[in-house]
Amino acid sequence: MGAWGVKSYENDETMDNIDDNVERKESKKGIQRKWTTKSLKGALQNSEFSCDDPQCYVGTLRMALESKCGLNSPRCKVTEGQLNEGYRRATSLIKDKEYLNRWTDPKKKKKELEFEAEMFKTELRKIL
C-alpha cells in the first residue's frame, strides 16, 4: 500500500497518480500543485495508477478540494458526479472491514474516511 498516514492521499499510489496528472512546482514553501478542471478529470480517470481503486479516487478528490478546487471554482471545477462518486467510494471503504483491518489503527482510518465522506457530502449540499 505504501501508506504513511491515514488520509486517503497519504500513500504512494495516490500521490503517483496526482503527480502524473497535476503540474507541480517545488518552492521554499514546499510542493505547490496547479490543479485545473482537466488535470482533476485526468487524475480521477487515470487507470495507470489504478485510480479505479476507491482509496486513490477518494484521496485524489480530497486533495483537490483541499487545494481550492470546488463546485464554483473557475480554475478547477469539481462536478456533482465526481463528488457523488467520491462519497460512494468513501462509504464503501467505511463498510469494508477487511480493508480497514489492514491498517495499523483501523478505527483511526475509519474516522478519517468518515471525515472524507462528510467533506464530499458538504460540497454536494452547496448545490441544493
pTM above threshold 0.75: yes
Closest CA to 70 of 115, 20, 124: 124
Residue 46 confidence (pLDDT) above 90: no
Residue-wise pLDDT for 70-85, tens only, equals 888 888 999 999 999 9
What is the tally of structural domains in the chain? Answer: 1
Closest CA to 117 of 64, 62, 69: 62
| Domain with 45 in it | 12-19+34-125
Residue-wise pLDDT for 97-128, tens only, equals 999 999 999 999 999 999 999 999 999 998 76
Residue 95 lies in a domain: yes
Residue 27 lies in a domain: no
Per-residue cell: 26: 517545488
Residue 44 lies in a domain: yes
Residue 94 lies in a domain: yes
